[in-house]
Amino acid sequence: MGTYYIPRNVKGEGRILFIFSGKSMIYTAVGAGIGFFLYLIFSAVGLTWVGIGAIALLGLIGFSIGTFKIPSLGGLEFSKKTSGENIDDIILRAIKFKMNKKKIYIYKEEGEE
């Protein structure tokens, strides 16, 4: 029996340390960096374990934003429109929408009704 090449989608498979892509590593570092500042504040008060928990929690949140996609849930209108898109893309679009003072521009060709 011969071996056969099976084509597959390799987009975004540049992995670092097996679980981190470049984007998820950056988001994890930013989340852990914010958690580090909280660690400094909590350790000054004497709550070192709370600060370590903040680093871990914010790093995990950053990793999930950089890695996961919006799932398709049948009961929610939001997930029907955005299912399969990266979470960070959705967050960036929401920020741009808020900064644009909630204006939506629709391009319409002549003759369309």
Block residue for tokens 């003072």:
101
- Pair 64, 76 in one domain: no
Q: Are 39 and 58 in contact (CB under 8 A)?
A: no
**Residue 22 forms part of a structural domain:** yes
Angle formed by the axes of helices 48-67 and 22-45, nearest 10°:
160
**Residue 37 forms part of a structural domain:** yes
Q: What is the pLDDT of residues 12-50, one digit of tens each?
A: 556 666 677 778 888 889 999 999 999 999 889 888 898
**Residue 100 forms part of a structural domain:** yes
- Pair 78, 60 in one domain: no
**Residue 39 forms part of a structural domain:** yes
Please give the model's pTM, rounded to 2 decimal places: 0.63
- Pair 30, 49 in one domain: yes
The pLDDT score that the predictor gives to residue 86 is: 79
> What is the C-alpha end-to-end distance of the chain, expressed in Å?
59
| Sign of the four-CA dihedral 26, 28, 34, 37 | negative
Lowest mean pLDDT among 1-5, 40-44, 62-66: 1-5
Average confidence (pLDDT) over 44-73? 86
pLDDT band at 103 (very low <50, low <70, confident <90, very high): low
**Residue 113 forms part of a structural domain:** no
